[in-house]
Amino acid sequence: MSKEIQFEIPESLRDIKGRLGSTLGLAAFLIVVVGGFTSFYTVPAESQGVVLRFGEYVRTSPAGLHFKIPFGIEQKYVLPVERQLQLEFGFGTPGATNLVQYSDSRADQMEERSMVTGDLNAATVEWTVQYRIADPKSFLFEVRNPEETMRHISESVMRAVVGDRTVDEVITIGRQEIESESLVQMQEIANRYKLGLSIDQVQLKDVNPPEPVRPSFNEVNQAQQQREKSINIANGEYNKVIPRARGEANQKIQAAEGYALKRVNEAEGDVSLFNAVFAEYLKAPEVTKRRMYLETMQEVLPTIERKIIIDSDASQILPLMQIATDKSK
């Protein structure tokens, strides 16, 4: 029967067959070309490819040129596993390629950064989370919108960590601790849900008291400076006066000691002199005494301008004399 079919095709039909043949040939050619083109793909250096066959995960391919079964039987996803991605909270760096990197509206950003601290005060905290896609398979298949989920996790963890601290800790000394503790907690939750993300870093950016409260925080700083300043001034005054007074006191004491030495030395000198003279005097008291007397007189009398020597018997004339004390006479 098949033979009959083969031989009884009329001319016109044969013509059609010929045309069909050429059309089929063209189609086959196209299929081969398209298939050829869609069966190769390149994974860039920083990325990994994930290949699905009929929707089922079959393999992960490293960077390089790879082959897959064409015509949609095998599909590929290429994920930049080496690239560090960033999420921003409370602020946004414009021009990000990552769609979930920051919240679009200013109002949302404001909500993100305002928090309540463990002493029921308020603080505004801005932070970033740096992460990479560590496990492309989990990233693609375990959670819908893993990056949005990461945003939620990050916000809730940051608030839990800040909520266990006082506003002063958050603003001043607690920064590093908050960063490291929230990193650990975020990673733990990310692992629990198999987000396939590895968090490299949590960084606090601007951490401040809320805007309306800020001036009063500054006032505290100023008051602190002022306190230091008045203490410094008082100390300066102290330092200006006291060491000098110590020096002066020392000087007076030294002078007194000098006086003491002088006084005692002089006394001893005087006494030595006296003893020496006295020893000689004892050998011939009368003569010595007289000699000393006369010597003194010889020394004293010449310097005296007016000398009156009267006879011992004529002492009654004394009142008659005009005794002038005027030196010019």
Partner 1 sequence: MKQLTQILSLALLVLGGIITYNAAYIVKETEQVLITQFGKPVGDPIIEAGLHFKIPFIQETNIMDKRILNWDGRPNEMSTKEKTYIVVDTYGRWRIADAKQYFLRLSNERSALSRIDNILGSETRSAIANHELIEMIRTNKDREPKDLAAIEGAIGKLEPIQKGRSKIEDEILANAAPKLVEFGIELLDVKFKRINYNESVRRQIYERMISERQQIAERYRSEGAGEAAKITGSRERELQKIESESYRSVQEIRGAADALATEIYADAYNQSPEAVKFYEFKMSMEGYKSILSDDTTMILTTDSDLFKFLKSSDF
For the packed helices 146-162 and 175-192, what is the interaxial angle rounded to 10 degrees? 140
228 binds partner 1 (CB under 8 A): yes
Q: Which of 264, 274, 253, 139 is nearest to 198 (CA)?
A: 139
Find the shortest distance in angstroms from Cβ 31 to partner 1: 16
What part of residues 31-60 is at the interface with partner 1 (CB under 8 A)? 52-57
- Residue 70 corresponds to which amino acid? P
Find the shortest distance in angstroms from Cβ 110 to partner 1: 10
Gap between the Cα atoms of 221 and 25, Å rounded: 85
- The DSSP code for 101 is S
Find the shortest distance in angstroms from Cβ 172 to partner 1: 5
Number of C-beta neighbours around residue 208 at 10 A: 15
Which residue lies nearer to partner 1 by CB, 15 or 270?
Answer: 270
Number of amino acids touching partner 1 (CB under 8 A)? 124
| Tokens at 162, concatenated | 């800040």
Q: In sequence order, what are the residues at sequence separation of 6 or more whose Cβ sits closer than 8 angstroms to the Cβ of residue 193?
A: 142, 143, 149
Which residues in 73-111 are b (16+ Cβ under 10 Å) and which e? ebeebbbebeeebbbbbbbbeeeeeeebbbbeeeeebee
What part of residues 278-307 is at the interface with partner 1 (CB under 8 A)? 278, 281-282, 285, 289-290, 292-294, 296-297, 299-301, 303-307
- The DSSP code for 82 is T
Q: Are 197 and 133 in contact (CB under 8 A)?
A: yes
Which residue lies nearer to partner 1 by CB, 97 or 176?
Answer: 176
Find the shortest distance in angstroms from Cβ 91 to partner 1: 16
Which residue lies nearer to partner 1 by CB, 18 or 36?
Answer: 18
Gap between the Cα atoms of 168 and 183, Å rounded: 21
- Between 177 and 196, how does the x/- string for binding to partner 1 read (CB under 8 A)? x---------------xx--
| Tokens at 202, concatenated | 């949590």
Find the shortest distance in angstroms from Cβ 45 to partner 1: 26
What part of residues 147-176 is at the interface with partner 1 (CB under 8 A)? 148-149, 152-153, 155-156, 159-160, 163-169, 172-174
248 binds partner 1 (CB under 8 A): yes
199 binds partner 1 (CB under 8 A): no
Q: Which one among 26, 31, 33, 223 touches partner 1, defined by CB under 8 A?
A: 223
Find the shortest distance in angstroms from Cβ 169 to partner 1: 6
Q: Which one among 309, 316, 320, 322 touches partner 1, defined by CB under 8 A?
A: 309
100 binds partner 1 (CB under 8 A): no
